[in-house]
């Protein structure tokens, strides 16, 4: 395999500048149209393919851009500042790419990564079920060996890219009686076929335009060479192996939403006048802007710190958890404060504030709820500082 290129600060600035220019020219003008209609942005997806966004973190040897996680996090933030939903279209996809790159067999990497890098195949991660989200070991979808195939039965819930995606990482139980339960779990790389159905698109508060669906498997047959990594029993490890990067990605999205709410508020507070002066001159508004700006900066730094550690190959479950927790709560806080600063207009669908307000809560739920992040952080602290 060819050696990976070293990225310089100039490379990073150039890539960021071209993505930001695309976001301003092509995405911002159509965001409201797609989001309010909850319509999938097919034309933007075609542009994303041309820009290489589906291969951002896939190594160059497999046709991607091979960007480092720190640059990836900045791109995710830039996208979330304009239209968080389209970030969802590439993020689950790139998480799947990372899983295949880290854990896949050579044949799986050679077969899938080049197609993922161009966007010819688009990825979805299928972990959550109607009765199990946080408690992944409680999933019920099972896969039974039958010759050189497995037969899958069960259902999945809330799957991002579930309708327009084409490659699905599906977490199953291959040994429902295994003790501990995680040893009996296996991840499959599935493409649609007989017995694999997309049941319904779920209606939701925000994160519109990207589809979240329920899926079901009814005697769905899949070849044994589609077991991620080629060996049964490692599915749980694969699922949690993607969590650090997943949390950095959610943190980066949180920073994007929070900063968008802040920037809109700075602008609006200079335009809107009450009692003869711009509202930014009222101390009550200044207190809000000062608090928002400080939290955004702190969220950005926590996210960067986690991404730097991840990039160096250091353990960063605690740092990624802290970044995800703080940045998502920051997005929620800033979207609410922005709504107050905008008064009645914050509640209007003609402004973007109400979208930030609907999008932000998802950041507190995805990739491990914030309740779980606090527990992860506490457990890491106790492990790192034993008495
Ligand atoms: C828009 C959207 C998109 C999504 N996309 C995907 C996707 O692409 N793929 C995918 O697999 N999933 C996806 N999810 C699912 C998401 O990951 C889960 O919703 C999340 O993991 C929480 O699981 P749950 O909803 O089952 O909540 P539950 O696990 O039922 O939790 C309910 C509450 O109990 C708390 N709780 C649970 N266990 C504990 C504990 N041990 N200690 C303290 N508190 C606890 C939780 O923090 C939460 O407050 C998506 C969800 C949404 C809303």
> Do 196 and 251 lie in a common domain?
no
8 A C-beta contact, residue 332 and residue 359: no
Rounded distance between C-alpha atoms, residue 194 and residue 171, angstroms: 19
In a domain, 369, yes or no: yes
Closest to 221 in 3D by CA, of 112, 143, 123, 154 = 143
Residue whose C-alpha is closest to residue 253's, from 335, 157, 375, 351:
335
Mutational test site, ligand 1, from 125, 129, 158, 325, max ligand atoms within 8 Å of CB:
158
**pTM recorded for the entire structure:** 0.96
Residues 61 and 2 sit within 8 Å (Cβ to Cβ): yes
> Given this model, what pLDDT does residue 353 score?
98
**pLDDT, mean of residues 166-181:** 95
- At 40-98, the pLDDT tens digits run 999 999 999 999 999 999 999 999 999 999 999 999 999 999 999 999 999 999 999 99
pLDDT of residue 183: 94
Ligand 1 atom with the smallest distance to the CA of 134 is 29
Q: What is the pLDDT of residues 219-235, one digit of tens each?
A: 999 999 999 999 999 99
Which of 124, 207, 365, 367 has the most ligand 1 atoms within 8 A of CB, as the residue to mutate?
A: 365
Domain of 196? 123-238
109 and 154 housed in the same domain = no
The answer to whether residue 26 is catalytic is: no
Peptide bond into 180 cis (omega under 30): yes
* The total number of structural domains that make up the chain: 3
Residues with CB under 6 A from ligand 1: 92, 125-128, 133-135, 158-160, 204, 207, 212, 362, 365-366, 369, 371-372, 375
Q: Report the chain's mean pLDDT, rounded to a whole number.
A: 96
Kindly state whether residue 387 falls inside one of the protein's structural domains.
no
Domain boundary (71, 88, 118) is at 118
Calculate what percentage of the chain has a pLDDT beyond 70.
99
Tell how far the Cα of 360 is from the centroid of ligand 1, in angstroms: 15
Inside any domain, residue 152: yes
Ligand 1 nearest atom to the CA of residue 207, by list position? 1
């Amino acid at each position: 395999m060819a050696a990976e290129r070293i990225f310089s600060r100039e490379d990073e600035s150039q890539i960021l500048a071209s993505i930001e220019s695309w976001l301003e020219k092509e995405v911002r003008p159509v965001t409201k149209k797609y989001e309010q209609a909850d319509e999938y942005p097919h034309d933007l997806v075609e542009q994303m393919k041309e820009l290489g966004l589906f291969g951002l973190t896939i190594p160059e040897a497999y046709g991607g851009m091979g960007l480092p996680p720190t640059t990836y996090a900045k791109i995710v933030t830039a996208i979330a500042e304009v239209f968080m939903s389209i970030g969802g279209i590439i993020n689950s996809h790139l998480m799947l790419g990372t899983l295949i790159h880290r854990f896949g067999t050579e044949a799986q990497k050679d077969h899938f990564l080049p197609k993922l890098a161009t966007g010819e195949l688009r990825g979805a991660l299928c972990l959550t079920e109607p009765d199990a989200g946080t408690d992944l070991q409680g999933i019920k979808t099972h896969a039974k060996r039958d010759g050189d195939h497995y037969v899958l039965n069960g259902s999945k819930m809330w799957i991002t890219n579930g309708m327009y995606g084409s490659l699905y990482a599906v977490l199953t139980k291959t040994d429902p009686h295994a003790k501990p339960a995680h040893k009996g779990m296996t991840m499959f790389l599935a493409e649609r076929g007989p017995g694999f159905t997309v049941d319904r698109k779920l209606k939701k508060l925000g994160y519109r335009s990207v589809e979240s669906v329920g899926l079901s498997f009814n005697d769905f047959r899949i070849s044994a060479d589609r077991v991620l990594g080629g060996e049964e029993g490692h599915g749980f490890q694969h699922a949690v192996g993607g969590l650090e990067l997943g949390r950095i990605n959610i943190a980066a999205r949180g920073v994007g939403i929070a900063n968008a709410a802040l920037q809109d508020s700075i602008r609006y507070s200079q335009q809107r006048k009450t009692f003869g002066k711009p509202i930014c001159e009222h101390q009550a508004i200044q207190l809000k802007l000062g608090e928002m700006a400080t939290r955004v900066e702190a969220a950005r730094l926590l996210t960067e710190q986690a991404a730097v550690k991840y990039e160096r190959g250091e353990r960063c479950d605690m740092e990624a958890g802290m970044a995800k927790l703080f940045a998502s709560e920051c997005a929620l806080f800033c979207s609410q404060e922005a709504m107050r600063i905008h008064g009645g207009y914050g509640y209007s669908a003609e402004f973007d504030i109400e979208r930030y307000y609907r999008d932000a809560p998802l950041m507190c739920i995805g990739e491990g709820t914030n309740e779980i992040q606090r527990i992860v952080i506490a457990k890491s602290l106790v492990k790192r500082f034993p008495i």
